[in-house]
Each structure stands twice: as C-alpha cells, then as structure tokens.
Amino acid sequence: MYILGVSAYYHDSAAALIKDGEIAAAAQEERFTRRKHDFRFPINAVNFCLDYTGIKISDVDLVVYYDKPFLKFERLLETYLAYAPKGISSFLKAMPIWIKEKLWIKEQIKDKLNYDGNILFPEHHQSHAASAFFPSPFKEAAFLTIDGVGEWTTTSYGIGKENKITILADIKFPHSIGMLYSAFTYYTGFKVNSGEYKVMGLAPYGVPKYVDLIYDNLIDLKDDGSFKLNMEYFNYCTGLTMTNSRFDKLFGGKPRKPESKLTQREMDLAASVQVVVEDVILKMARHIKNETGMKKLCLAGGVALNCVANGKLLREKIFDDIWIQPAAGDAGGALGAALFGWHQYLNNKRIVDEINDSQNGALLGPRFDNEYIEEFLVKNKIPHEKLNDDEIINTTARLISEGFVIGWFKGRMEYGPRALGARSILGDARNPSMQKNMNLKIKFRESFRPFAPSVLEEKAAEYFNIDRSSPYMLLVADVKEEKRLNHAADENLFGIDKLNVVRSVIPAVTHVDYSARIQTVDEKRNSDYYRLISRFYELTGCPVIVNTSFNVRGEPIVRTPEEAYRCFMRTNIDYLVLENFLLDKKNQPEFQEQNDWRKEFELD
C-alpha cells in the first residue's frame, strides 16, 4: 500500500511517500525549483517520490494533505474581522491566492496529479505530532509541537501510544512562541521564516539584558508553560510586518535594516529572546511530564529546530529521552500526514525497539549513480579522476587533513534543513581560520554564524558534554572542559570581537560560548560518511570534522551533480567529490554560467 503525504502553501512545501508503513522517499520542493522555502504545490517533489519508488499516481491508495485549508481560511477571516478596518491591505493581498488556489486543495490534488482516489485532511498540528511520534523509536511518549501557526493552533501537546496520537491541549493564534521569535528575527534585521537560525547563532554574542522587558511587556507566561502575548506590540495580525511602533519604542529604535551592520543591541536582543523561549519550553516540558507521566518526549514544529533549546531541555533531565523530527517544520508535515494516514486512519501497527528510529538517517531524497555522473562529466568535458570506494574515502580524508575544503556529494539527499553528510561542504575542525574562511569565501554569509561538527558517535562523549547520539544535528552541547583553550582570552571582548578567539582544539566548530551543534555519525545511517571521518581520525587523531550544507547563502542545498558543480565553481571550494569522482579546482576550465545543464539532466 502506498500513501502520499503533501504539504504546501505556507512555506517549505514537500512530499513524502510511505510504502507499507515504511518511509520510501521524501523531499522538499525547493530542491527542485531552486527557490528557497518554495511554498508552491510540490509537483516536482511528488514526481520524484513516485519515480524513485517506481510507481504511478494510480498506484497510490491514499493522499494525505497536512492541514485543513478551510479551517485556516476561517482563521484568516476571523482575525481580519476582529481587527477591522485595520489590516485591510494585508487582507486584500492574501485573498486572491486563497480564492484561486489555497482553498481548493482537493481539486488541485486531483487536477495536478491526475489522482482520483481518497484524500485525507488531518489538522496541521496532528501532522506535526504524527511526524514527531510515529518515526520515533518509542512505543509510547508525550509529544510537543510548537510553530508559528497552523490553522488556529500554535502549540499543542499530547500522548502517542502504539499507533495512535491524542492531542490533550493546545494554545491558539495569535499567541505563538514561533511568532514571538519571528518578531525578533524581523526586528534584528533578518528574514522571517528563514533567519531564525541567525538569531539563534547570534545569541551567544549578546547579553540577555532585555529578558525582564520582554516578560513585563510582551508575554504573560504561567508556571505550566501556557502564555499570552500582548498584541499591542505586534503587527502580524493586521499588517505586513511583525512588529509596530510600540515595539520600536520599547526597545529603543526602529528595526535594523537588512544587511546593515550588526550592533550590540541586536546581539543582546537575540540573547534575550532565546532565554525566554528556553524558559517557555522548559515550563511546558515540566507540565507535560506531570500531566502525562510519560518518560519520553517527541518534538516537531518549526520551534523544535531551535537546537540550543533542545540541548537545554535534554540537560534538564525532565524526560529520560527526547526525539526530534529532523524535518520539524512544514516540510515534515508531509511525512507526518502520510504516517497519520497509515497509523491513525488505517489503524496499522507500529513496530519499534526503543532504540532505532524509522527515519533512515533522513537520507530520503534523490541519488545519482556513477554512470549518470560520468556521462555528465564527459559530455561537458569536465576534468575529473575516477577512484574506487576505498580510494575516494582515503583521498578525501587526506585532503581535509591538509586544510582543503571539500564539496561532498554522495548517496541520497537529506530531507529537512540540515546537511547530514550527503550534500555537505567539509573542512578540518582543527583549523582556527576555517569558520571565517568558509563563511565569507564559500558560504558568502555572515561571519558570526557557527558551523556544526560531525563526530564519530563512539567518540562524541570525549569531545562534547553529551551522553547519547545526535544523528540529525538537533542538539547543542558544550565542548568538554579538557578540550578547551584560552579560557580568559575574551573576558574584555564584546560582540563580534569574540569571533577570533581560538577556544578549543576544534576551534572551527566551537561557538563563542563553547557550544556546538552536534551531529553524531554512525555506520548504520551513513556508512560512507562514517568511513570518511574514521579515516580522518586515523590520519589525525581527531574524530571531528566541519560539516555545513552544500549551498551558498540564499540558495537551497544542491540536489544534482550539475548544481554541485556549479556551486563548486562559484565558490572557493578546493575539491569536489561526486560519488566516486574527484574534481580538483586547479584543473577546471573557466566556468561559463550560460552552460545550463539542468535542462538536459534534471529529473523533473
């Protein structure tokens, strides 16, 4: 039996395909269209899922859409009526696409996919909860879903047992932790729905001096984690911005202009909202533990991508263990919807062992074999060297150890926002200039942003204060005391000046507060990547490398060999690995942008 899950029309549209309860394929639409956070109907992602599995749409038994469009439309109307006549401009801007597209999902699924079977519509937070619990290793667990907003719900919790999820309570729009964080994202000059990572990365440079101001004016937080926002300071119900003039007055000025210089104020604001969000999540978690009695917790929704808060939640030991959906945002709603159809709607059993999840390392996207890659390289006269399996691992490990930056393209593409060793840019974590060089010369992004370490799972506890695996890069932990250097070097430094201090034996992945967003790597999930880091460890005595996503700022992660080559040639990446092929930048001809290989080679 095949079940297709679809998410669309908010941000990060995606498709996922379940075969007899197993996750067969999943991908975000942005990877095919090259439009970051593409929200349009995911026709390319759907076609990939069908093609990869070798089926036609007529073989699909059930399509599950990740929310209820009419309920979401109701929220839009009622919100406007509650504030009318304020908000008329944003209301009029939203209406045409709702009337034309967003309301008629059933018809669109039938027309765009040529599908005439059954279609199911769970609620948005049911899809999030399903994506959190059903792929988890746990037989039973509590779940917590937190995002901007679904239809009405912004936060929910409940219980998952066997093959059923039950939502016990929720918080409704306009009161939203996701919206609060996005308001500060907007105010500090970053793009809402994509810049939240930047706020999280900026927070350690600041001092949380505005926490009391936030609690006194913006949010009324109760001991059980429930809260209300003071809507006098926010504009997202009626306007085209997140905050208003009262918010400006409260924090001493207008929002930072995008791309302008960052000041200590932005750093302190980021630190402050991060502290508040952590407080909220911890209070919620304690309440959920008391109410449900569950020992395990599963998380999803966009706020679950706040890996700093996740790490703190783990360290507080409120629950014995937590599991976080790697595609926690709306993209993961497609997978949750499909799993909801299989388990909740069709009443199929779950088989779990309390240890292994069913997410397949999140490596659920397209892959390209050596034959395809060789045809591309030869046809376009691209200099390359073909190596066997051992040679490509050994050579790449040696190049990383010598300080070179590697574009690594191997296996199935990741599902979710993180590169996990299939579409990654790799470097030596021991190199003190690696973070700055990769940010400015390769990623073309802000210098303050930290990079993540990939570490052999069995060696993680030697370098980081973590006692379990973190395969999806969703937990932050501190670098071990014995691996740190220059403890007092930045006592008199403030803000971005802290960036240049060498803090540990792995400085390229040590943030200014000695934290790191950890990916543990094991042989079962990604054997090639595990073998690469193992070989690097044999060469250097260090089991940690730098791993960042294979893209440049403003673009989605690469999907095809053509896109990988284009990114390689546009940046200062030194070598490119395409499965068993190694490309040296020094040997490449001058790059001609007009050579558009996508027309010939793309899958869709």
pLDDT tens track for 409-422: 999 999 999 999 99
3-state secondary structure of 527: helix
CATH class for the region spanning 370-601? alpha beta
Give the residue from 359, 377, 309 showing the smallest Cα distance to 517: 309
CB proximity list for 492: less than 8 A, separation 6 or greater = none
Return d(Cα 120, Cα 3) in angstroms, integer: 10
Check whether 586 has a pLDDT greater than 90. yes
Percent of the chain with pLDDT over 70: 96
Q: Is 600 exposed, middle or buried (0-12, 13-18, 19+ CB in 10 A)?
A: exposed
> In the predicted model, what is the mean pLDDT of residues 470-492?
86
Written as six digits, the tokens of 395 are: 């050579």
Return d(Cα 93, Cα 268) in angstroms, integer: 34
Return d(Cα 43, Cα 46) in angstroms, integer: 5
pLDDT grade for 598, boundaries at 50, 70 and 90: very low
> In the predicted model, what is the mean pLDDT of residues 14-20?
98
pLDDT grade for 73, boundaries at 50, 70 and 90: very high
Chain center to CA of 353: 26
> In the predicted model, what is the mean pLDDT of residues 67-87?
90
Question: How many other β-carbons are positioned within 10 Å of the β-carbon of residue 570?
Answer: 14
CA angle centred on 13, ends 10 and 17, rounded to 5°: 140
Cα distances from 426 to residues 404, 442, 452, in angstroms, run 9, 11, 10
Model pLDDT, residue 97: 85
CB proximity list for 290: less than 8 A, separation 6 or greater = none
CB proximity list for 568: less than 8 A, separation 6 or greater = 407, 576, 583, 585
Return d(Cα 542, Cα 524) in angstroms, integer: 21
pLDDT grade for 490, boundaries at 50, 70 and 90: low
> In the predicted model, what is the mean pLDDT of residues 323-343?
98
Return d(Cα 218, Cα 228) in angstroms, integer: 8
Model pLDDT, residue 594: 52
> In the predicted model, what is the mean pLDDT of residues 453-467?
97
Give the residue from 558, 591, 542, 310 showing the smallest Cα distance to 428: 542
Check whether 179 has a pLDDT greater than 60. yes
Written as six digits, the tokens of 586 are: 């020094």
pLDDT tens per residue, range 339-366: 999 999 999 999 999 999 999 999 999 9
Question: What's the chain's average pLDDT?
Answer: 94
